[in-house]
Amino acid sequence: MADFSQLELCPELQFTLEQLNYQKTTEIQAKVIPVILQGADVLAQAQTGTGKTAGFALPIIQKLKDVQPVNNYHCIRALILTPTRELAIQVAEKTLSYGEQLNMRVISIHGGVRFDNQLRKLKRGADILVATPGRLLEMLIQKKLSLQQLQVLVFDEADRMLDLGFIHDINRIMSFTPKERQTLLFSATYNDKIEQWAAQVLNNPKKVSAAPANSAAKKIQQLAYKVGNGDKDDVLSFMVNSGKWKQTLVFVRTKRRADKVSQALIDAGINANSIHGDKLQKERIAALNAFSDQQIDVLVATDVAARGLDIEALPRVVNYDLPNQPEAYVHRIGRTARAGKTGQAISFVAPDERQYLQEIEQLIGKKIQFHSIPLLTNGKLVSEKSAGIAKANSKVRKTAKAKYIAPELEKAKKPALRPSLLGKAKKK
Ligand code: AMP
């Protein structure tokens, strides 16, 4: 990748990047920063974790750096729309840190917190506003802020915004913005809907892509295990405990399952917590901080709640349930192997999820290999509860040898235990 010094970024930004220890650009940054600096509209494909926030934030800051506040009020010159609160908060935090040397005022507004508190934050305006569509539209309709001075509009994770049904709100927000503006649309995946949307909102855009269309990042090792629905808690606890897994993000399909799985892990002696849409914003942030600070080892999340989580170098994600939309798989596994690091994406596939797996394989254009789960004690297979598991282990049974699956488990060199026995063994 390129050195940042090869890009035409001002000394203050170069200094900030040095402070952050960003030594080289990521692929998307090398491609997109010059194009944004030239003033073109952009349609960019970049997965989460590729460094795309800096990809748009740095050139935006550079463009806005000479604008001075009027009567101590900062007119909104750049708007970044994100699908979720967490992403809004994280993009704002990152952008603020990038713009610190240049005194950029960056504010985030989103649902889940009091309207009047957010209005107070906006009293002196913002150079860059990061917002979720619903809350922003409310403020615009009530004439609490103006986008008339807007120069740059960014759609971050555009595909997710479409999935979450924000298109109507977004169209209304656009009617509050000037026609003359630069628009940047970032999406992890492309499909017809994104192309149609791009054709409406972008003017002669430059297309930039940091990864082959709809393919998962190459540095992610993708593994699948056949696990019956009734065995998933046991298998997960077993893997986390015997592999001594830290910083593991587990995806489940529903809010109720998030709580149930987190409790099952806690019962197995694992430090776990859950985040989902029914939890208060402050609970979600506390869980997220505890996870980032490594006070908890496993965070169980629904797709929406996990959106925008930025935890550096997450080593592993687990699909406890496969998503029924294949694009969500790409988003989920994008949480690992961030910014050039390696990572592991593990999927539990119950018999009724085989169809989802096929759809995912079609989207990413490759097969995800099944591996066998060690369900042995003293070299003997002790559980055949799930037909899938028994089949996957049939070879192991013949030789009656313990076989480990994930590299971590191999390293752990522990005798494999039947998951349900693990808790008992620990208590002794
Ligand atoms: P993003 O895809 O924008 O969410 O960024 C993912 C992570 O990569 C964040 O934690 C960034 O701080 C980090 N990052 C972004 N660009 C670079 C870079 N050029 N070098 C090292 N880390 C980076």
Atom of ligand 1 lying closest to residue 52 CA = 3
Judge whether 161 and 132 are in contact, CB under 8 Å: no
In this predicted structure, what is the pLDDT of residue 272? 96
CA of 50 to the centre of ligand 1 (A): 6
The CA distance from 26 to 210, in Å, is 9
Give the residue, by CA position, lying nearest to ligand 1 atom 18: 22
In this predicted structure, what is the pLDDT of residue 218? 55
CA of 342 to the centre of ligand 1 (A): 14
CA of 141 to the centre of ligand 1 (A): 35
CA of 337 to the centre of ligand 1 (A): 11
Residue of 335, 315, 322 lying closest to 363 (CA atoms): 322
Place of tokens 């935006």: 60
CATH code that applies to domain 4-209? 3.40.50.300
To the question of domain 220-427 being in CATH 3.30.230.10, the answer is no
| Type and span of the H or E element at 39 | none
CA of 313 to the centre of ligand 1 (A): 10
Give the residue, by CA position, lying nearest to ligand 1 atom 15: 51
Give the residue, by CA position, lying nearest to ligand 1 atom 5: 51
Q: How many helices (H) and strands (E) does the chain have?
A: 19, 16
Residue of 133, 132, 129, 118 lying closest to 173 (CA atoms): 133
Residues of the chain with CATH 3.40.50.300: 4-209, 220-427
The CA distance from 215 to 237, in Å, is 30
Q: Which of 21, 31, 53 to mutate to test the pocket of ligand 1 (most atoms within 8 A of CB)?
A: 53
Residues in the ligand 1 pocket, defined by CB under 6 Å = 22, 25-26, 29, 48-54, 310, 312, 338-339
Q: Please state the pTM of the whole predicted model.
A: 0.63
CA of 312 to the centre of ligand 1 (A): 8
The CA distance from 317 to 422, in Å, is 22
| Type and span of the H or E element at 263 | helix 255-267
Give the residue, by CA position, lying nearest to ligand 1 atom 20: 22
The one-digit pLDDT tens for each residue of the chain (428 residues) are: 788 988 989 999 999 999 998 988 988 999 999 999 999 999 999 877 788 999 999 999 999 998 888 888 999 999 999 998 888 998 999 999 999 999 999 999 998 888 888 899 899 999 999 999 999 999 999 999 999 999 999 999 998 898 888 999 999 999 999 999 999 999 988 888 899 999 999 999 999 988 643 444 457 889 999 999 999 999 999 899 888 898 899 999 999 999 999 999 999 999 999 988 888 878 888 888 898 888 999 999 998 777 656 666 688 999 999 998 888 898 888 778 765 667 899 999 999 999 999 999 988 878 998 988 765 444 333 443 433 344 433 433 333 233 333 334 434 434 344 444 444 444 43
In this predicted structure, what is the pLDDT of residue 419? 44
The CA distance from 173 to 132, in Å, is 11
In this predicted structure, what is the pLDDT of residue 427? 42
